[in-house]
A = this chain, B = another copy of it.
Amino acid sequence: MPTYKAPVEDFKFLFHEFLQIDKRTDLPGFEDLTPDMTTAILEGGAKFCEEVLQPLNQVGDEEGCVLENGVVRTPKGFKEAFQQYCEAGWNRLGAPEEFGGAGLPSVITFAFSEIGSSANQAFTMYPGLTNAAYSALAATGEPWMKEHIVPKMVSGEWCGTMCLTEPHCGTDLKLMKTKAELQEDGTYKMNGTKIFISGGDHDMTDNIIHMVIAKIPDEEGKLHNDLSTVNFFMVPKFIVDPETGEMTKRNGVSVGSIEKKMGIKGSATCVMNFDDAVAYKLGGAPQKKSAEGGEKKKSKSAGMAGMFGMMNGARMGVGIQGIAVGEVAVQNGAAYALERTAGRALTGAKNPDASADPIIVFPDVRRLLLSSRSFVEGARALAMWVSMLFSVQQHSPDEKEREEASDLAQLLTPVIKAYFTDKGFEAANNSMQVFGGHGYVRDHGMEQFVRDARINQVYEGANGIQALDLVARKMSMKGGRALMTYFGKIEAFIKENEGNDKMKPFIEPLKTGYERMTKGATWLMENAPKNYDNAGSASYEMLNIFGVVTLGWMWAQMAKLAQEKLEAGEGNAEFYKRKLVLAKYWLEREVPNTAAYLERLQMGADTLMELDEDAFVA
């Protein structure tokens, strides 16, 4: 059975040394975040996840969810664990105090979500989506929803979902067929089918609040292939009385079936049918009936903006799931490498009294572990920094700082989503590989990590979509302002530390990677306008360069900090020495990949586009 120990020390390092969050008392929620406070939260969260959620991870996978008489039954223990979760207050960690939340900032909630996801990714999807749903509802809902519904979701009395995908359409919302027709009373009548709805139904709470996107038809009831007709709605499983907040009758939304999946089997993935369901449009007054449905409107509705806001937070959350699965997998891979014996160290027996050495003596086993470990801790630093930017962009008193934080967070969100989930999958595979044949057997739990990790590359926008978002939108947004800010920061760091001999092993490869990144960006600027397919063909390479270099920058900063602490004789020397090795590993052995990414990026789209479609199935 796999084990898990939450990386509390690493979070404390990131919070109080790397990010120095306790200095940001100008931001709401940060006033009380002293080391004592964060330690208490982290240790409490760690204990809960290690003791309650992690033991249910394999059970959840074995048992999965079952659809019985139209209701989803979650795996044994999930319901009780969810009650405990909410009672202990983990569900409301980040919710605003006005809704009964603890009002803690993203650094805390994302840290906790990593720990929860390491312990049991399938379980944490129920509260995770509930959080996304209540945040969107708090942002876009009517006052009665904020009064009666949001607090119940915050407390965990009710759950929530996001209903976006339909059988024939995921990313391309224009193709949507779910229809919401305005009724006399101002509500909408919704009909259609949504698929891949995580937690679409379950037995953990009485009511479930669905956040749904659907199209409003024109006067004749016709749907148009037009994004501006897509709107954002709330559809409760049981209709809620707007006056009292009581659950009343069952709404016309039901689960049609649940998917048999590769992994995250404890999370119910539902096909949801909307049959004349009562739906409430979000983000302002009901749209006036008009015959202009077919025309393009330029501005997104406030509701849709809320939906996209929800998606952005979700993307960050999925990126963190990549870290989470990497962390738990490499913990188990490392433990096995210390325990399993086979052969002898290449330089001579390390353990001559035993019949063989532990396999950790082999450089290639170390490669599997260090590549995963240096990803996990570098990615965690980036995730926490961007979480911090989320708070800054919302609450900083300094407009310039807010703007910069928003730019950087937007630029890096697709990188975090795609690169972290690719590397998280790789880390899970690497750690499974350490187990040899034993990794392929279910008992050890390693192959579950691989299966669970695989979804992260797919949901909330498949990783290829993230890459396109990066090159086609984010890099050029506001005339490239975000990109210039980002480049400027890395360049400044390099300049600042170039003269420092001790920083040489970190700065030199970082500089190499950075130069390749700017070359890639320049190539794109020159070649994408000539042929947009060049943006598409370069997108994944560019995203990977961003991933490697940004983590390299994080590592170089952590290395600097570690050196300072060691020189000052402060703190746990072993901790900092270990960070220095991991930093060196990343910069020595991951930055070389940027050479390949850049060479490939510069090849352009021609060969990719040359083959006729039919030749792909020849």
User: Contact residues of A with B, CB < 8 Å?
Assistant: 165, 168-172, 174-175, 195-196, 225, 259-263, 269, 331, 334-335, 337-338, 341-343, 345-347, 355-356, 358, 360, 362-370, 373, 429, 432-433, 436-437, 439-443, 447, 450-451, 454-455, 457-459, 462-464, 467-468, 472, 531-533, 535-537, 539-540, 574-575, 578, 581, 584-585, 588-589, 592-600, 603, 605, 607-611, 613, 615-618
Contacts and interface: CB of A to CB of B under 8 A. Distances in A.
Contacts of A455: 440
Nearest to A614: B338
B578 A607 contact: no
A175 B429 CA distance: 27
A315 B603 CA distance: 35
A282 to B, nearest CB: 24
Given A335-B617, A592-B597, 9 more contacts: A165-B437, A172-B342, A346-B536, A360-B613, A363-B539, A363-B608, A436-B458, A439-B458, A440-B455
A196 to B, nearest CB: 5
Given A364-B467, A447-B262, A616 B342 contact: no
Copies in the complex: 2
Q: Identify which of A347, A574, A616 gathers the most chain B CB atoms within 10 Å of its CB.
A: A616
Given A261-B440, A459-B437, A616 B369 contact: yes
Contacts of A531: 347
Contacts of A608: 363, 366-367, 370, 585
A441 B584 CA distance: 40
24 contacts: A171-B436, A195-B437, A259-B441, A260-B441, A262-B440, A338-B613, A346-B532, A346-B536, A347-B532, A362-B464, A363-B539, A366-B611, A367-B540, A367-B608, A369-B616, A433-B458, A433-B462, A440-B458, A574-B618, A575-B618, A588-B600, A588-B603, A593-B596, A594-B596
A533 B346 contact: yes
Contact of A364 (B368, B540, B585, B596): B540
A579 to B, nearest CB: 10
Nearest to A532: B346
Nearest to A447: B262
A600 B607 contact: no
A475 to B, nearest CB: 15
A575 B341 CA distance: 51
A70 B209 CA distance: 51
Given A175-B342, A261-B441, A603 B589 contact: yes
A609 B370 CA distance: 10
